[in-house]
Structure 1
Amino acid sequence: MEDQCRVLAAAVETLDDVFYVYDADGKLAYWNTRLNELFDLTDSELSGTEPTEFFVADDREAVEVALEEVFESGQTTVEARAETTEGVVTFELSGRLLTADDGTVQGFSGVGRDITDRREREWHLQRQNERLTEFADLLAHDLRTPLAVTSGHLELAAEELSVERINAARDGLGRLESIIEDLRTATRDGALAADEQAVDIADVATTAWTHVETDSAVLEPPPPILIEADPKRLLRLFENVFANAVTHGPERNERAADEKDRSDATEITVRIVPTPDGFAIEDDGRGIAPDERERVFEPGASRAADGTGFGLYIVRTIAEAHGWTVRVTTGEHGGARFEFDIDADTAC
């Protein structure tokens, strides 16, 4: 019997989860060393503690309700967050009543399982579903106008055989095609990044630059920055940020005073720089006003007459699918700067 107890105790110590036993008074009586590691507490400091003491204030009420439930119904399950040596962890906590042969309640035992990653994945999926709903609402509005204009021009063109009206109809159809393509991209790239691998940002950015109509804009040779990312989605992210920089760059007459300078002037320069938390893409264009910096990521927002308004929305969607955040600030030369903060586990 003694050997069996030793084997059982050794098995409990191999668990990645927290194992605990509370007595009939709801005081901690037995636990594995995983609990010591997560809270950096000694055995004497842990002995006799109550369940609520481990968790953040907002979740303690739920733990108290679960504690009552396990003594009343014999079992319980609850989720609660705790500040641990590994950061804030979301636990799924179980509890089952322990009774003696005569039915006397001796306490309860259970397991605390780290479900932080699972909850984060679920949050991302929820965000993507919300965005698909937004697309459904925007689709009718954004497609109705170019369709109506195109239909009108085509009807008149059929009557007048006007080249001007036919070209206008073609422009309308081209804009419609752009909107549909961006919608397809956003829904496709809105899924969780599924093919993450080691990627050099310099390679992806250089390729993306060749996919964008940059005119006389210049991309400074990017430095090597190694991260874990989905290459296809990252390529789309860079394409959209570059297109935004070029589209919203300064007019030539804002950069040069005379006709000769205007003919030789570079419209905009784009740079990629490493940051302590990831990387940034910045330009020396007009920049984005502080009160516009959050709105530019909203679906349908565009300052360009021929823009679809989904470019930066897609950028944010791809970033969040990787678990990153993106924000707009002011670049070194006064233009727009898009800063991407990457989770510490994502960097190579």
Structure 2
Amino acid sequence: MTEDVLLRQSVNVLDDVFYVYDERGELVFWNDRLEELFDLTADQLAGMTPMEFFLEADRPAVERAVEAIFETGEIVVEARANTTEGTILFELSGHRLTDDEGSIVGFCGVGRDVTERREQSVKLTAQNDRLSEFATILTHDLRNPLAVAYGDLEQYRSDGDEERLDLLGDSLDRIGRIIDDVFVIARDGRSVTDAEAVDLAAVARDAWDMVDTAAATLDARATVVVDGDASRLQRLFENLFRNSVEHAGPSVTITVTETETGFAVEDDGPGIDATDRGAIFDPGFSSSTDGTGFGLYIVETIAEAHGWSVAITESATGGARFEFTILPGDDDLDLVSG
């Protein structure tokens, strides 16, 4: 077996991409993994530059990395590419190659799929952030009702006024609601891993039946089917419906409709003050004296657990409009003609 054959067989057993570029930055040697991932022939691959493999947004970083290899000798950079196995985030290494006289003749390296590792890192960061939020909620938002409860208890002990017991009960009820909401956030904030096809209009109607909607009206006209967790999405709608009824009045009309990028829930009430929109999803934020301030925070948490984003805007009638965007690159959205 010749050295060339031995070398090729050795690099072809790698799960990673192996590549060699010449001093002009043109591809001259690679393993079979590169051909498999990009579905290109040897003739098509020969002479390609590193930038040509990656998404346009990541090409400048790859180009700078190539320049750095020739200047510093080694470099590591991350870049995304569309492959036969989907969009992959690669960790790319580069090592400068020189001849016996020290002249640069090119560089070699390995492209490793780190997509899953990065996703796990993002999830871990999100979980740590959530734990920090829980600590803030439990130390800040519980402190005030606890202080009020202790004050009412001491006052009752002092003068025996039984009205203080009613006020004490109100504070304990509020503490209980906060604890319930924190539990929901902890449970429903986890990434959705057991998604199934969900008819949003059907889930919205189920949520409507669970909320005290008084004389309000639901217009669930959306014909959107998404991949999601039905129970969590029902809770998302329940919180939105309660928010509309509480803030827009008992006769509000709430509409669930599809958009080009997802769906929206809007009402015909007075809307949300522009000065409050930046804080509307913050934990503990509430314009109501008896609310916990976690209803819309839970909505955002459930949306993010699905990989979606939510934004507050204004409906055509001036009411509140919550727009849910299923992020580009996901195949979760199926707009079904009604």
**1:283 — aligned with what?**
267
Counterpart in 2 of 1:340?
Answer: 324
Which string of whole-angstrom CA distances, capped at 9 and with x for unpartnered residues, describes residues 309-347 of structure 1?
A: 111111112111211111011112221000001134111
CA contact (8 A) 1:17 1:114 kept: yes
Amino acid across the alignment from 1:212: V
2:59 to 56, 68, 88: 56
Q: TM-score, normalised by structure 1?
A: 0.76
Aligned-partner Cα distance in 2 for 1:300–1:220: 29
Asked if residue 227 in structure 1 is aligned to residue 212 in structure 2, the reply is no
Opposite residue 318 of structure 1, the aligned amino acid is I
Which residue number corresponds to residue 136 of structure 1?
Answer: 135
Match of 1:326 among 282, 287, 310: 310
1:47 partnered with 2:47 = yes
Shift of 1:199: 0.7
**Other-structure match for 1:80:** 79
Instruction: Return the alpha-carbon distance in structure 1 between the equivalents of residues 200 and 165 of structure 2.
Output: 43
Equivalent in the alignment of 2:256: 272
Structure 1 unmatched ranges of 5 or more:
251-265
Q: Deviations over 1:230-254 (max 9, x none)?
A: 122212211211121112114xxxx
Determine the C-alpha separation between the residues in 2 that align with 1:156 and 1:218: 45
Secondary structure at the residue paired with 1:297?
A: coil
Map residues 44-193 of structure 1 onto 2, 5 A cutoff: 47=47, 49=49, 55-58=58-61, 60-65=63-68, 77-81=76-80, 90-95=89-94, 109-116=108-115, 118-158=117-157, 160-193=159-192
Give the superposition deviation at 1:221.
3.9
Q: Please list the CA deviations of residues 254-294 of structure 1 after superposition, one character each: whole Å capped at 9, or x if unmatched.
A: xxxxxxxxxxxx52111100111111001111211233222
Instruction: Answer yes or no: is the 8 Å Cα contact 2:38–2:83 preserved in 1.
Output: no
1:21 to 1:282, Cα distance in 2 relative to 1, 3 A: same
Query: Matched residue of 2:316: which SS?
Result: coil
CA RMSD of aligned residues (A): 4.0
- The answer to whether the 8 Å contact 2:53/2:81 transfers is no
Q: Distance in 2 between matches of 1:62 and 1:105?
A: 16
Change (3 A) 1:338 1:118: farther
Shift of 1:99: 9.8
**TM score, norm. by length of structure 2:** 0.78
Moved more, 241-250 or 14-23: 14-23
- Matched with 1:21 is 20
Shifted more, 48-57 versus 272-281: the winner is 48-57
Where 1:270 maps in the other structure, the secondary structure is strand
Are the counterparts in 2 of residues 62 and 80 from structure 1 also a CA contact under 8 Å? no
Which deviates the most, 134-143 or 170-179?
Answer: 134-143
Structure 2 alignment gaps of length 5 or more: none
The answer (yes or no) to whether the contact 1:59–1:81 under 8 Å persists in 2 is no
Aligned residues: 323
Q: Check the 8 A contact 1:196/1:229 in 2, yes or no.
A: yes
Q: 1:118 to 1:273 in 2, by over 3 A?
A: farther
Match in the other structure for 2:297: 313
- What displacement does 1:184 show? 1.3
Q: Which amino acid aligns with 2:44?
A: D
Q: Hey, what's the Cα distance between the residues in 2 that align with 1:47 and 1:35?
A: 17
**Residue 247 and residue 151 in structure 1: after superposition, are their counterparts in 2 closer, same or farther (change >3 A)?**
same
2:47, 2:68 → 1: CA distance? 22
Q: Matches of 2:64 and 2:105 in 1, distance apart?
A: 23
| Structure 1 residue 56 displacement after superposition | 3.1
Aligned equivalents of 2:70, 2:198: Cα separation in 1: 48
Distance 1:26 1:224 in 2: 51
AA partner of residue 258 (structure 2): P
Please give the secondary structure, in 2, of the residue aligned with 1:289. coil
Using a 3 Å threshold, how does the CA distance of structure 1 residues 315 and 294 change in structure 2: closer, same or farther?
same
Cα distance in 1 for partners of 2:109, 2:259 equals: 43
